[in-house]
Amino acid sequence: MDDNDLGDIGFDPYEFSNVIGDENQPLYPGSSKYTMLSALVKLYNLKAKHGMSDVCFTELLILQGDLLPEGNTLPSSMYVAKKTLFALGMSYEKIHSRPNDCILYRKDYKDSTNCPTCGGSRWKEDKDSILKEGVPTKVVWYFPPIPRFKRMFQSHKTAKSLTWHAAKKSVDSQMSHPADSPSWKLVDDKWPEFGRELRWSNCCIKI
C-alpha cells in the first residue's frame, strides 16, 4: 500500500473479529474454492505486483463483481478493500535509509538530508548527478510488532501457542522447548530483554 493509502483507519479488534469471521464466508453462494478474504488477498497481491493504480483496482473489483454470480461478497471499492485488509493489523512504516544501512532517517534524524556517518545525501541522483529531492536512496519497510501481537492474541488457539513456553515449561528435566536449554538460560540471565525477544521470535516461527 502507498504511504497515505489507509488514511486514518485504525486497528480495531472488533473489526478484526469481523474479518476473521469472514474467513469462511464463500466468495459467492456455492463457491468452495475461494472465500471473500482469500480472493481479496490474491487480487491485492496482483495490484502490488504489477503496480496497479487505485482507480484501476477499483474498476477491476467492479468488473469482477459483475462477472461473479449474484450475492457475491467481493468488495466493490478500493477503500472497502483496504479497510478490510488493514483490519488484519498488517500496517507498516516506510523509513528512509542509506544504501549501506549506516543511518535510519527517524527520530533525531527525521529531517536530515545528509548522513552523519558517511556524509552521503538522503536523495537519489539522476544520470546528470543532480539530486532528485524527495526520492530516497533507500527505503526500509518496518513492520510494527505490537499490532501483530494484538492480532495473534485475538485468537484463543494462537494465544495458547504463544504462551506455551511459559505455561508448559519443562518440569521433568527433559528439554521440550529451546527456552529449557542452558544456553537460553544464560541469555536470560545476562540479557533478559534479548531473551524475551528470542522467545517471541521462536513462537512466531512455530506458528
- Is the pLDDT reported for residue 147 higher than 80? no
Q: Give me the pLDDT at residue 2, please.
A: 40
Render pLDDT for 32-52 as a digit per residue (tens, 0 to 9).
Answer: 888 888 898 899 889 888 888
Tell me the percentage of the chain whose pLDDT exceeds 90: 20
pTM exceeds cut of 0.75: no
Look at residue 57 in the predicted model and tell me its pLDDT: 93
Return the pLDDT at 67: 93
Residue 96 banded pLDDT, cuts 50, 70, 90: very high
CA angle 9, 96, 202 (to 5 degrees): 70
Q: Are 96 and 136 in contact (CB under 8 A)?
A: yes
Would the pLDDT of 22 be above 80? no
| Statement: residue 180 has pLDDT above 90 | no
Of the candidate ranges 89-98, 155-164, 174-183, 186-195, the one whose mean pLDDT is the lowest: 186-195
**Percent above pLDDT 70 for the chain:** 70
3-state DSSP of the chain: CCCCCCCCCCCCHHHHHHHHHHHHCECCCCCCCCEHHHHHHHHHHHHHHHCCCHHHHHHHHHHHHHHCCCCCCCCCCHHHHHHHHHCCCCCCEEEEECCCCCCECCHHHCCCCECCCCCCECEEECCCCCEEEEEECEEEEECCHHHHHHHHHCCHHHHHHHCHHHHCCCCCCCCCCHHHCHHHHHHHHHCHHHHHHHHHHHHHHHC
Q: Mean pLDDT across the stretch 17-22? A: 57
Whether the pLDDT of residue 143 is over 50: the answer is yes
d(CA 152, CA 160): 10
The stretch 107-120 carries a mean pLDDT of 90
Asked if residue 189 has pLDDT above 50, the reply is: yes
* Chain centre to alpha carbon of residue 86: 9
| Higher local confidence (pLDDT), 105 or 169 | 105
d(C-alpha 27, C-alpha 61), whole Å: 13
**94 pLDDT higher than 50:** yes
So what's the pLDDT on residue 66? 93
Residue 118 and residue 101 in contact, taking contact as beta carbons nearer than 8 Å: no
Output the average pLDDT for the chain: 77
- What confidence score (pLDDT) does residue 51 get? 84
Return all residues near 70 (Cβ < 8 A) that are at least 6 apart: 28
Exposure of 200 in the CB half-sphere (CA atoms within 13 A): 12
Rounded to an integer, what distance in angstroms lies between the CA atom of residue 136 and that of residue 147?
27
